[in-house]
Amino acid sequence: MKTIRMTTAQALVKFLDAQYVERDGVETKFVEGVFTIFGHGIVLGLGQALDENPGSLKVFQGRNEQGMAHVAAAFAKQNNRKKIIACSSSIGPGAANMVTAAACATVNNVPLLMLPGDTYATRQPDPVLQQVEQPTSLGTTTNDAFRAVTKYFDRIVRPEQLMNAMINAMRVLTDPAETGAVCIALSQDVEGEAYDYPEYFFEKRVHRIVRTVPSEAELSDAVEIIKKAKKPLVICGGGVRYSEAGDVLMKFCREFNIPYAETQAGKSATKSSCEYNLGGIGVTGNSAANTIARKADVVIAVGSRLTDFTTGSKSQYSDKAKFVNINVSRFHAYKMDALSVVGDAKETLKRLASKLRTSGYKSSYTTEIEKARTDWAKEMKRLANYSYGKGFKTLIPAQNPGSVEEFVKLYGTEVTQVAAICAIRENIPKDAVITGASGSLPGDLQRMWTTDTKDAYHMEYGYSCMGYEVSSALGCKLADPSKEVYAMLGDGSFLMLHSELITSLQEGKKINVLLFDNCGFGCINNLQMSNGVGNLATEFRYRDEKGGLNGSLIPIDYAKVAAGYGCKTYTVHTIEELKKALRGARRSKVSTLIDIKALPKTMTDGYDSWWNVGAAEVTSKPAGREAYERVIDNRKKARQY
């Protein structure tokens, strides 16, 4: 057996450079490179290996470990999980910073390889710099935090362990049913230790992404349920996107006269203009999808995790409605007490269509689908023309209406959030990619955003991770430099994490940041105040003379922040200024930021859906007691499984 004597880190780099994936006969190099912020736990091991011989791997310099990992996750998602960028960090705080991003990737079933440094395997220098000491277990390190948020975890304490660990890492990363974050913790002394690795460990490996075919029994059971349905509804989830099954799903719905609705992950897998597409469903859904969902007798969920937002906390559908879940994961397929059909979305829909075609099935819908779409189109026009002026009323009930007038006086703005979104949609390239993650914007976007460009809607709403937005825009741009990419986020998210804006400038990968400044965490402010909680620590205010956080609003010039980095910036107070800024941003050669001073309480409200949230059973406030009674009443109507 021929061997090559290398350090553990050198072997890791050489192995990563030889990994490929193949689906439908198309082969793709799997690992694009390594994102890193070097520290003492990684720089002399993995850093030395990347410096001496990176092969074809590209090294990217991050600014924040969480941020760079979000970039890598977005890159993988936008590449349809067929390419990844690994992420490395030092031990301690560097590793801990990546835990949030790991959870985000795992929740969303996106492959993300984490390579944090770890403490010494020999334990001779213990406690080493940045080491967390656990008196009850000296083998426990910061990296053990990854166990709860990854799909596979391993720690390398011997050079030869690398081989088994990396084969298993690739197994998980390339499996559509199991993929998510993988953590391979690298003991910093072992990174530099040498071993005689067999040459075959470094041979080119092609990991086939197999399209799982459903069993005939499960297909037949599904057909029997659907054949009896008068008003079925299809849910288009993220699995449709990753299976590249959008065209097949649209054809399926047209043939059998079945409407479909989109989850956050499923949006842009199909065309918004499709006559059977009702748009977003559930808590952040629109009136078209939610109205049809109420009367559906069979729900066919394709590639969906069926989260509480998609199901309206299990209250969106009739308790008599039956579920047929098509998913590569049996875990997800079993949700909502459904008939599970385990298989790839594209292959399963094709086979299901063949069997239904033989039976001559058609749904009983007549004009309901068209009417629902027409009614929502009218509502969209209303939202597009919603502006500040005489007789102005907020879309969200304003328990503190004075804050809106205060905001107007502070910034002199007329921009409403919903009108801004409509203007953005009409004034950016038709094939542009938008990204988002948290706050009220994902709700507005799932309801209001339309696109006929495949994979142009990139929303992280499985973990709804504040700070994902700017990083994800860079990840999407790295995945496809030909597209204009727009991160849409609130001021709260921007303040949490925007450091990879610097990386976009460094890499020459222009992104556009559309920042909606409403002086606070507006979404949560709506939630707390609508449930009888006071205006507590959700608006950005100075501390008042009574010691509370209810002083005047804090004005922040976000354009100046980004300009200091070297970005092209704009501040807008009217829709016309916004349109002009968008035109300027398209001409810009560097990353841009548009600071949109958007009026509070001007985001969309719910459309016939409900979200089950915790409410105080004991409270002295009448509004709080009313909120609790509403929650209890709705919980009684929801499914219990």
Q: pLDDT tens digit string along 492-519?
A: 999 999 999 999 999 999 999 999 999 9
The beta-strand segments (E) located in 111-239 are: 112-118, 152-156, 181-187, 194-198, 205-208, 232-236
Give the tokens for residue 220: 């037949």
Q: Percent of the chain having pLDDT more than 70?
A: 100
What is the tens place of the pLDDT at every residue in 547-600? 999 999 999 999 999 999 999 999 999 999 999 999 999 999 999 999 999 999
* Lowest mean pLDDT across 178-192, 371-385, 612-626: 612-626
pLDDT at 641: 78
* Nearest alpha carbon to residue 184 among 208, 148, 157, 206: 157
Tokens 């430099």, located at residue? 481
pLDDT at 534: 87
Its CATH architecture, for the domain 385-597, is: 3-Layer(aba) Sandwich (3.40)
Positive or negative, the CA dihedral 91, 93, 97, 100 is: positive
pLDDT at 543: 97
CB-based contact 110:77 (threshold 8 Å): yes
Q: Is the pLDDT of residue 402 over 90?
A: no
Read off the pLDDT band of 389 (50, 70, 90).
confident
pLDDT at 259: 98
According to DSSP H, which parts of 412-557 are helical?
417-426, 441-448, 468-479, 491-496, 500-507, 522-530
For residue 337, how many C-alpha atoms fall within 13 Å in the half-sphere facing its CB?
8
**What does the alpha-carbon distance between residue 622 and residue 146 come to, in Å, rounded to a whole number?**
43
**What does the alpha-carbon distance between residue 412 and residue 418 come to, in Å, rounded to a whole number?**
18
Considering the chain, what is the average pLDDT of its residues? 96
Class of domain 3-208 (CATH, top level): alpha beta
What is the tens place of the pLDDT at every residue in 7-35? 999 999 999 999 999 999 999 999 999 99
**What does the alpha-carbon distance between residue 459 and residue 441 come to, in Å, rounded to a whole number?**
10
CB-based contact 323:233 (threshold 8 Å): no
Helix, strand, coil tally for the chain in percent (to 5): 40, 20, 40
In order of 33, 288, 293, the CA distances from 285 in angstroms are 38, 8, 11
Describe the strand order of the beta sheet including 485-490 as a list of residue ranges. Answer: 457-459, 433-436, 485-490, 512-517, 592-597, 568-572
pLDDT at 366: 98
pLDDT at 85: 98
**What does the alpha-carbon distance between residue 365 and residue 370 come to, in Å, rounded to a whole number?**
10
503: Cβ–Cβ under 8 A, 6 or more apart, which residues?
Answer: 60, 61, 62, 63, 67, 68, 71, 474
Q: Is the pLDDT of residue 39 over 90?
A: yes
Instruction: Indicate the helix (H) or strand (E) that contains 89.
Output: strand 84-89
**What does the alpha-carbon distance between residue 120 and residue 155 come to, in Å, rounded to a whole number?**
11
**What does the alpha-carbon distance between residue 142 and residue 126 come to, in Å, rounded to a whole number?**
14
- Domain boundaries of the chain, sorted by first residue: 3-208, 216-375, 385-597
Read off the pLDDT band of 403 (50, 70, 90).
confident
DSSP code string of 24-56: TTEEEE-EEEEEE---TTTTTTHHHHHHH--TT
32: Cβ–Cβ under 8 A, 6 or more apart, which residues?
Answer: 57, 58, 75, 83, 84, 85, 478
128: Cβ–Cβ under 8 A, 6 or more apart, which residues?
Answer: 91, 119, 120, 188
Describe the strand order of the beta sheet including 84-89 as a list of residue ranges. Answer: 58-61, 31-36, 84-89, 112-118, 181-187, 152-156
Distance, C-alpha 302 to centroid of its chain:
18
pLDDT at 606: 86
Q: How many helices (H) and strands (E) does the chain have?
A: 24, 23
**What does the alpha-carbon distance between residue 582 and residue 319 come to, in Å, rounded to a whole number?**
46
Distance, C-alpha 49 to centroid of its chain:
32
Q: Is the pLDDT of residue 398 over 90?
A: no
Q: Is the pLDDT of residue 82 over 80?
A: yes
pLDDT at 637: 87
Same fold? 3-208, 216-375? yes
Q: Is the pLDDT of residue 491 over 90?
A: yes
Q: Is the pLDDT of residue 102 over 90?
A: yes
Describe the strand order of the beta sheet including 277-280 as a list of residue ranges. Answer: 277-280, 260-262, 232-236, 298-302, 322-327, 339-342
Q: Is the pLDDT of residue 379 over 80?
A: yes
Domain 216-375 matching CATH 3.40.120.10: the answer reads no
